[in-house]
Each structure stands twice: as structure tokens, then as C-alpha cells.
Chains A and B, each alone.
Chain A
Amino acid sequence: MNKEKIASRTLVIFVVLLMGMVAVPSATSLPTGVAGVKDSGCNCHGAVVSDSVVPILEGLPETYNYSEVYTLTIGFTGGPADPSNINQGGFNLWVSDGEIAPSDASVQSWNPNEVSHTDAGNDQTMWSVDWIAPSNDRNVEFILHTNSVNGNAGSPEGGTSGDEWNRLSIQVASPTVILEQANPYTVLTTLIVVSFVLLLMVLTFIFYQNNPDSFDWENFAPWVAGWLTTTDHKRVGTLYFLAGFFFLGIGGIMAILIRIQLMEPGNDFLTQDQYNQFFTLHGTTMIFLAAMPLINGAANWMVPLQIGAPDLAFPRLNAMSFWLQPVGAILIFTGVFSGTGADTGWTGYAPYIVSETAHSGTTMWVAGQILLVASSTLTGINFLTTIAVMRAEGMGWMQMPLFTWSILIANLMLFLSIPAFGVGLIQVYLDRVIGTAFYDAASGGDPLLWSHLFWYFGHPEVYVVIVPAFGIISEVIATSARRSVFGYRSMVYAMAGIGVVSFIVYGHHMFTSGMDPTLRFVTMLTTMLVAVPTGIKIFNWLMTMNGGSLVYRTHTLWALGFLVTFTLGGISGMFFPSMAMDLHFHESYFVVAHFHYVLVGGTVFGLFCGVYYWFPKMSGKMLDERLGVLHFLTAFITYNGVFWPMHRLGVWGMARRHHTYFISVDEVRGVDGEVITEAVIGALPPEAAGWNMFITVSAILFFFSNFLLIINVIISLIRGKDAPADPWGGWSFEWMTESPPPTPSFGRFEHGVWHDLPTLKDANEHIANEPSKLGEWFNRLMVADKEEVEN
């Protein structure tokens, strides 16, 4: 074994250890929370664990009776506590189900399921509380921490030392024997770990498949190290795809857990607390850890190929943008493993996000987001530079493929808006960590400032994830219809228009925020305006098919499906700028329906379309068309089943981010006027329950339908047909190289210069030779060519 192999092996182990270091502190505290009160007993003194302290919890039955009230006696013996001390002790009691309530002033309640002593109660060693048993079947767990205090807390030595604590855990069985219901955290954590292990197994298998003869550590370690250290745009693109699909799955699992909770009114599958964390992480995961990496994956793969560049402008920076993502992801998920994940919603509105009621995991969520912001900034620099400077000979701005255009515009938007978010996050992080007061309303901080910084980024961000899908659809529809895209120039201007408008529409997220009505009115006008460029794009796509010869492939189906869902999402979007209606829709399921139509029906369908379109290029293997069509049909139908009914639920009054909902019942009277059914005030009419069940079933089906894509990819990698260089008959440069493309993607570097880079011809020479007025002006603005100056 040579030195290099030892080095790479050491590094692999090192990396695993470091990742472990990040994950472990939170995992070890299971199930009692990250560095919370429960971790250190009573945290008011620097106490140490000691066996000499014996916690006592009396008054508990073997099995409880439904809703009965039990009076519990809490106490401890041992430790330094002594009646002559100023203080003697403290406790913290947590119960998994039912409610505990203080019975006198020596005990205070933190939550319905958590109590501890008060200042008045810290010179006692015995306390009593009431526990109301749950009204349903649960195996209840009690965790008691007691703290034995030597009472020197107020002494001049400032002594908090010498105090000791210990923990006691007791189970109480339910009246009827039940199968223990799995803790949703455990479910989620297990699923995350299982998916990760599966992912590793599949990767190992692919390695084995490539080198069946040399399947050993000596070859495996450099192979893994090769992926960990790669800076090749194609390999980094693949890593983005892997990470993106992995987190799409994780986000999907959380969506399913959320949907199971909402299946019926008043369901208690998830507690409010769990629900809050799940929807926060679902949103964050889907936007930042699934949609963005998938887009970056496609962009990494295709942009250099489409513009005829050997690689990105800054390959190592590109690797850096990727690796910040999984590290950020670990931070974002940190709290979940111990039940204290971020519970702020993906918007993380101030002042809740800096308040103490937000979970401790919120700080880590913010930290993770900061890394993602850094990653996006680096990606932006890289792609803007690459597209500006590395286009092939003959490819002017107006000869770029539309996907490249879309990535250029998306990155420009992202790049100019994300610093605002980054600064906001840093302010929140500092507020939470070192106690600055940017969003502390009690010190004069303004919660609306966060909303402004967030949405100044947040709205361009949603266009950032949809615009690349526009690019993909433009490529696919044109290629499939065997035509050049209708109105190339108006397509570009429309995208650029969306890019410009995106910065001035964000106020529509804040119509109900108490913002100045003048500002609301201005953003209402600009928001209305977004419909124009979007409409141009949709009509241009439709017109592209006109006179074409539409070849039906899987990607064609996805593109047509995209047109349907995205148009629906666009139309429902038109309801929001009308403010009198938005006052009703804001934070309702109508909003949820709208943005899922745009983000799933738009972004995700667009990306699926891109995957089917470019997979042969990326892997050199064809995908199975039958499985692809099956995937499209199942996913398209179940998808609409999930999100279409949500529009109606929103109008009825189903609020977003609510862990449950209740149904109203009208009073029913018999013939004599006696009340048969009492009226119940709920938010939703009775038929809403049925629709929610329908949505949940559709959601589960939608979730599983997407595994067809993964199965398809795996089958194709193992025994797919070899793909030709240009399987669909596209025109742009990516179809010029072999499938899969070599490294570097085009040309070779010798004596400080690139040779054999491709040149683009233009079928519209006459137009290309006459630069537009705008183009001339733009060129004059920039530094002139060296040759031009010499001539």
C-alpha cells in the first residue's frame, strides 16, 4: 500500500469522525434534549451527577385510569442538602402524556407536560403535583431530575459547586395493553438513517458493478476519496443530484408524516411540537436542500456543456459550494434527533425566531442556513462568471441555449438577493448566541425588518427555483416538437423581466403585516405585472408546438404536464395580489395549494423532465420509456389529487401551519324542537374531513410513485442500453460530446492555452452579423476586444 492510499484512508476516517462530532452532541442527549434543563437536572447551579442523590416519585399507579387525577409526591434523599442550608434542592419533572399541574406555590409549570420548583420551593426536599392521566391508551413515561443543593449559591465565593443531581425514569402502563406507538422522531430518524445506508449500499454496488474484479478496500478508498475531492463539474453535478434526491426523499417523508397527522380532524399522531418542527424542516429541506441542489446539479452538468466550456470558471470553488450543503444540512437537522429541532416555519419570522420559546435547535437551523447562503453565493459567482466569460466562439448572448439563460438569470437573482438573507441570518444568529438586539422588540428591534430582509431574498428565491425549470421546458418542448423554440428573444426578455420584477414584488408576502398601505399598493401593482412575462412564456411554449412534429417521449409528457400544472399555479397566483382576497388567503391552505402547484408542478416536474431528458447524456445509458410513462401518469394524477382540493380547503378556512383542525356541526333539532345534535363551532364544514383523507391517501401514493424514477435509474445504470451522443436530436453543444462526456468536457489545455474548443454556427447569419442597437451600446460599455483596439 503506497503513501497516497494511507493518506486517503486516513482522511476518509477523519471526515467520518468530524461529521460524527457534529452529530453526536445532539444524539447523545436523546431523549432528553440538547443541553436543556433536563440534561443537567436543575440547571440553576453547576451541579454534577451523583449516585448519592436518590430521586423519589410516589403516588403513581401501575396502570392508570382514564383522565383520573393522581397526586404525586416528588422528593429526594442524600446529597449535600441539609435543612440548615439557604436552599436545599430543586427538581424537574417531565411526562410524555397527560398533564401535570402544580398544586401549590412551590411548583411551577413550564408546559402542560413539564413542571419544576419555584424560587419559593427551593428550600424544600419534597414537593407535590397533580397528574391528570391521558384519556386514551398510552404507555406513559416520567423523567424526574432532582438536584441536591449545598446552599452556597449566594455566598461570596459565588459557589455553585458541590451541588449534585440524579435522574429517575418510571413507566406507567395504559389500562389496556397496547402496542407501543412509535415516536415520530424515531420514525423520521430511522428513515433518514435507513435511506442514507441504502444510498451508500447502492453507491457501493455501483462501484462493484464498475470493477467487479478489484472490489477491495485498496481500490474502494481512492474511489470514495476521488468523489470527496472531485472538482470536475460533471462529478460535482452528480453529487448535487444525489444530495438533492436524498433530501427530496427526506422532505417527502416529513410531508407524509404531516399528512398522516392531518388525515382526520383532531388527530393526535403528532404532537403540536413535533408538527411544528416537521413543517419547518419540510419547507427548509424542500427549498434549500432539495430544489436548489437539484437545480445546481442540472446547472453544473449542463451549463459548461451547453456553452462549450471545458469546466466551470472556478472548479474548486464549485466543490466548495457543494460541500457546504451537506454540512449545512446536518446543522439544520441537528435538533430533530433530540426533539428540539427548529420550529419557526421556513420563513423564521422575528421576533419568534429570537424568542426563548423557539427551540434550541433553531440556532443550529440558522447556522446551517448561513452555510447554505455561503454556498449559494459561491455558486452565483461561479455561474455568472462562467456564462459571462467562457462561451464558445460564435455564441453571443442571444445564441445561448435557453437553459443557460435561465441559469444566468436565476443566479443573478439569487446572488443579488441572498446577501440580504445572509445578513438577516447572521443578525438572528448573533441575537440568539451572543445577545445582540436586532430583533428584540423589548429593546426596540423591529420584527418587520426581518420580514423585509427575508422576503427581499425569499421572493426572488422562489423565482430562482422556477426559472431553471422554464429553461428545461423550453429546451425539451423545442426538441420534442422538432422546432426551434418560438420567440427565442421574447423568451429571454420575459425571463429577464421576471428577474427584474422579482426584486420589487416581495411586499405581497406582507399584505397583512401592518406594513404601510402605500407600500402594499405598490407591490400589488408589481405583483400583478408578473403575470405578463409568465404569460408570454406559456404562450410561446404552446406556439412552439404549432406546425411541429411532436415526438412523445417521457420528457415530452413531463413538459406537457408541467404546462398544465404550472398554468394552474400561475392562475391561482393571480388571486393573491388582489389584496381584499389576500386578506382571506394569507396563511391558508389556498396559499399552500398555490405554491405547491408552482414548486412541485413547476420546479419538480421541470426537474424530472430534465432528468429524463439529460440522463442518457449524463450516464451514457438510456432510461426505460415504459417505466417513465408509468411514473408520469401515476405521479401526475396523484399529485393533482394532493394539491387541487387544498384550494377549496383554504377558502373554507383551513389555516396553514396548524397541527389540526376541527369540523363545525350545525345544530339539528327534532320535530319537537329538542336538540338532537349540538352545534359545534369549527373552522371547516363537514366535507373537509373527507377531502383531507383524500389528500393524505393521494400524498402517500404520490410519494411512492416517485420511486419509479429511482428504480428506473438503477435498472438503467445496471443494464440500460448505451446512449448515442444525440438521442433526441437537440442542437446545443451538450449533444456534441460523447455520452457520458469526457474530462475536460471540451478541448485540451496545452502551453497555457485551450485548444479545440467548439465553435457555434448560426443559422441566422444575416441577423447575427447585424448586432442590435442595444447590443452595440452594451458592447461599447464594456472593454473593447484586444484585436479590435489593434485594428
Chain B
Amino acid sequence: MSGEHDEHHHPSAWGPHHWDHGAPHNSWAPLMMSIGFGIFLFMLASAFNNDVVDASYIPLVMVGLLVVLFGLIIWWRQDMSFDGTYEPMSTGTPFKNIQIRKVGMWVFLMSEMMVFTSLFSTYIRYRTGIENCQTVFERGDWVEQGYTLETGEALICFEPASHLIASSWWHIAPGAINTFALIVSSFTIVQALRYASKPVGEIDENRRKKLVTRYLGSTWLLAIIFLTLKMVEWFIGFYVPEISFLGIHEHDIKSLVAEGYMINADHYHHHDWVDPVTGATMLADISVGASTFYVTTGTHGVHVFGGIVGLTYMTLKASRGGYTPKNAVSIEYFGLYWHFVDLVWVIVFPFFYLY
């Protein structure tokens, strides 16, 4: 039976594989990861039920994530020895002699494109279909209709995050820095690829190791900065000190959540929505707009997080001298993904932060 053949060459389904015998064979990783995802989704749904939180399930949510991580580690252990021995090439036209995995990556990005397209269609539907809170406020008829803080009645309108963010230069800073961070990280990943793929002899191997590690590491760092600033912007906020010679006064920049911009914000009022005539404060139900904002940028954030997980491994591997021209192409695969994530942000940023 074929199974015996497999066992002979691949004694362990935990990895590592002997790549010189072709494609990987038995592996526990797919089963483990699937179960992990299942437990995660089940326990998450048990832990949160709209506003009711059952904290006893939180550890089990973690168990789910741990099982996923466990599966991921098996997967990586199997790829750990990967040194470019096994890099299958296309045989069919029109992709002949192109790495199969590169084609696969492009195909994957095609579906990713559809994911963000769907999120954007949600955004466009709501952005164009629900009246903007600012417009409603300027028109002023909300006072007549009684949607005010005093009455406790909330008006449904679309409040783009950019309204809050545009209210102060400081608010936009994290997003702006993030944009630069991602653009620079696209550059650093290309640099890593450049040095990893320099033919042997043209570059000192120690120098190659150092440069590849440095560039992958800085990509990793930029991604971490991105997520950190995101957390600051969403949840933490920051403090601006007094810098008198620049005319900056000491004040706190509240996070979006602290401003009341939350996914279930049905009683939200922006800090400067006060009717100059009556002094009434407008109360809005902005949960649809906020949900769109958090889920779209959050999905992008998850992609960045996935990139960080990959980069952690790659940096570690590079620091051990794992990349040579023979397998440098795997940095290119990651780079394709990373450029895509960058590109999505370049579209997300103007739509959600500026417009």
C-alpha cells in the first residue's frame, strides 16, 4: 500500500519532511487547525451574546486559539527544513516554468480582493443610503423632530469615523503614521528579497544574513507599530504634552471608543454637535456606520496580524541564515501578500479616515 511508502520516507506526520522526496505527505496540521477554528468560533459565540458576556467561556476561546496555534506549529515544523529543494514549477501553459506557489498566491489574492470588495459594497450601500449626521445637524430639523440629548430619542444617521478623526490633527496622526509605516514596510520587504536573492558570490553570506534579517525585522517592526497605533486610536487614546514654542497645548486625545464611537452606539453625540440657537445636543444612532468602520478596518487589521505571524517566523529563520537565492522566492510570496495588504490600506485610509 502507498501508506507504507509514505511512512518510510516521512516517518512523522508532525514534520519535518524530507523535501527531496517531493510534496509533503501526512500532516496533523489541517485537522488540528480546523478543530481549533471550530472551537474558537463556538466558544466566542457562547461567551458573547449581544450585550451579555459569559466570562466562563473566555478560557475556552483561548483553548481554541491555542489549538490553532498548535496546528500552525506542526505546519511550520514541516516547513522548517524548507531550503528550496522542493519548489515545483508549472508545466502547463501559460504559466510554464513559473513557481506553482506564486500562481497560487496570486489566485489567493484574487479571492482576498473579493472579500474587501464585499466590505466596500457594504460601506458604499450605507454611506450613500443613510444620511450623514453632519448634514442632518446642519439642516437642524432633528431639533424639531425631537431627536436630542434632552429627549433621549436617537436619530439614525451615518457618522463616518473621519468626522471624529478630522476634528483634530492629533486624531488623524495615528492613521497617517500607519499609512507611512505600511508603505515603508513594502519597501523593506522588497529590500529583504533583493538581498536574499543576490546570487551566491556577489554578496558575503554573513552580510546577506545580516541584511535580510534587518529588513525582515524592520518590516515586522513597522507592522507592530501599525497595530499598536491602531489600538491606541481605537481604545487607548494618548496624551499631548505642552509644547509652547509650537503652540501646542496640553490635552488628552480620546480614543474612538472613549468618544462613544462604538459598534453598538445607539446613543452617540459628537462633542461639537450643539445647536447654536437652542443649545440642544443631537443624539444619534450611528451603530451601522461604526460597525462598517470597525469591521472593515478590523478585517484589514487581522490581515496585518496574519502578516506579523508570518514575519515573526521569517525573521527568525533569516537570523539563522535560512534564506539563500535558492529559496528567496518565498520572501517574494510573502511580499505579494504584504503589498496587497498595503494596497488595501491605501484604499481604506482615504475612504474611512479622510472622506
The reply, when asked whether chain A contacts chain B directly with Cβ atoms under 8 A, is yes
Contact B38 A7 (CB under 8 A): no
Given contacts A19-B35, A228-B31, A229-B26, contact A779 B104 (CB under 8 A): no
CB neighbours of B126 from chain A (8 A): 444, 446, 449
Question: CB distance B25 to A390 under 8 Å?
Answer: no
CB pair A419–B91 under 8 Å, yes or no, is no
Least Cβ–Cβ distance between A785 and chain B, in angstroms: 5
Contact partner, B91, options A229, A392, A416, A751, Cβ 8 Å = A392
List CB contacts (< 8 Å) of A1-60 with chain B.
4, 7-8, 11, 15, 18-19, 21-22, 25, 35
Given A314-B104, A328-B38, is A443 in contact with B91 using a C-beta cutoff of 8 Å? no
How many Å from the CB of A9 to the closest CB on chain B? 13
Chain A proximity of B61: nearest CB distance (Å): 11
A420 in contact with B118 (CB, 8 Å): yes
A322 in contact with B30 (CB, 8 Å): yes
**A242 at interface, CB cutoff 8 A:** no
A440 and B287 contacting across the interface, CB-CB below 8 Å: yes
Tell which of B41-49, B138-146, B196-204, B329-337 binds the partner: B41-49
Contact B23 A371 (CB under 8 A): no
Q: Which of B63, B91, B118, B119 contacts A389 (CB 8 A)?
A: B91
Q: A330-B38, A389-B100 are in contact. Are A436 and B23 (CB under 8 A)?
A: no
State whether the Cβ of A744 lies closer than 8 Å to any Cβ in chain B: yes
**What B residues does A384 contact at CB under 8 A?**
107
- Flag if B122 contacts A449 (CB, 8 Å): yes
Tell me which residues from 256 to 305 in chain A have a Cβ below 8 Å from any Cβ of chain B. none
Q: Kindly state whether residue B279 has any CB partner on chain A within 8 Å.
A: no
Beta-carbon contact of A25 and B46 below 8 Å: yes
Q: Are the CB atoms of A327 and B50 closer together than 8 Å?
A: no
The reply on A226 being an interface residue by CB < 8 A is yes
Cβ contact within 8 Å between B39 and A229: no
**Interface residue? B85 (CB, 8 A):** yes
User: Pick the contact of A420 from B37, B49, B114, B290 — CB < 8 Å?
Assistant: B114
Q: Decide if B114 touches A229 in the complex (CB within 8 Å).
A: no
B25 partner residues in chain A, CB cutoff 8 A: 230-232, 315
Q: Using CB atoms, name the residue of chain B closest to A771.
A: B93
Q: Provide the A381-393 mask, 1 if CB < 8 A to any CB of B, else 0.
A: 1101101111111
Provide the bound-state CA to CA distance between A785 and B93, in Å: 8
CB distance A225 to B13 under 8 Å? Answer: yes
Are B67 and A436 closer than 8 Å at their CB atoms? no
Which B residues, 86 to 142, have Cβ-Cβ distances below 8 Å to chain A? 86-88, 90-98, 100-101, 103-104, 107-108, 110-112, 114-115, 117-119, 121-122, 125-126, 129-130
In contact, A390 and B92 (Cβ under 8 angstroms): yes
B23 touches A364 (CB 8 A): no
Q: Are A367 and B42 in contact (CB under 8 A)?
A: yes
Do A433 and B49 contact each other (CB < 8 Å), given the known contacts A11-B28, A381-B108?
yes
Flag if B288 contacts A444 (CB, 8 Å): yes
Q: Taking the complex as formed, is B264 at the interface, i.e. its CB lies under 8 A from any CB of chain A?
A: yes
- A432 in the interface (beta carbon within 8 A): yes
Chain B min CB distance to A47 (Å): 14
Q: What are the interface flags for B1-18 relative to A under an 8 Å C-beta threshold, 1 for contact and 0 otherwise?
A: 011011100011110000
A431-470 vs B: 1/0 string, CB under 8 Å?
1111111101001111001001100000000000000000
> Known: A371-B37, A438-B288, A754-B88. Is A313-B29 also a contact (CB below 8 A)?
no
Whether B287 lies near A433 (C-beta < 8 A) is no
Q: Are B118 and A453 interface neighbours, CB within 8 A?
A: yes
Q: Is the CB of B46 within 8 A of A389?
A: no
**Does B218 reach chain A (CB closer than 8 Å)?**
no
Query: Smallest distance from the beta carbon of A451 to chain B beta carbons, Å?
Result: 12
Determine if B42 and A436 form an interchain contact, defined as CB atoms under 8 angstroms apart. no
Given contacts A314-B104, A432-B50, is CB(A319)–CB(B27) below 8 Å? yes
Q: How far is the CA of A174 from the CA of B233 in the complex (A)?
A: 65
Q: Mark A139-170, 1 if CB is under 8 A from B, else 0.
A: 00000000000000000000000000000000
> Which positions 72-94 of chain B face chain A at CB distance < 8 Å?
75, 78, 85-88, 90-94
Indicate if the CB atoms of A231 and B288 lie closer than 8 Å. Answer: no
Q: Does A396 contact B (CB under 8 A)?
A: yes
List residues of chain B with CB within 8 A of the CB of A226. 3, 6, 26
Q: In the assembled complex, which residues on chain A have CB atoms less than 8 Å from the CB atom of B35?
A: 15, 18-19, 22, 323, 327
18 pairs, A vs B, C-beta closer than 8 Å: A22-B38, A222-B7, A309-B91, A323-B33, A367-B44, A371-B41, A389-B92, A390-B92, A392-B91, A417-B114, A423-B119, A432-B49, A433-B44, A438-B122, A446-B126, A453-B121, A752-B20, A779-B93
Q: 14 other contacts beyond A4-B11, A319-B31, A320-B29, with CB at 8 A cut-off?
A: A35-B54, A223-B3, A309-B91, A316-B27, A364-B45, A380-B107, A433-B45, A436-B294, A444-B158, A449-B122, A453-B118, A757-B91, A779-B94, A783-B94
Q: Using a CB–CB distance below 8 Å, which chain A residues touch chain B?
A: 4, 7-8, 11, 15, 18-19, 21-22, 25, 35, 222-223, 225-226, 228-232, 307, 309-311, 313-317, 319-320, 322-324, 326-328, 330-331, 334, 360, 363-364, 367-368, 370-371, 374, 377, 380-382, 384-385, 387-393, 395-397, 415-420, 422-424, 426-427, 429-438, 440, 443-446, 449, 452-453, 742-744, 748-749, 751-752, 754, 757, 778-779, 781-783, 785-786
The 5 closest A-B pairs by CB, nearest first: A749-B22, A391-B92, A782-B94, A389-B90, A437-B287
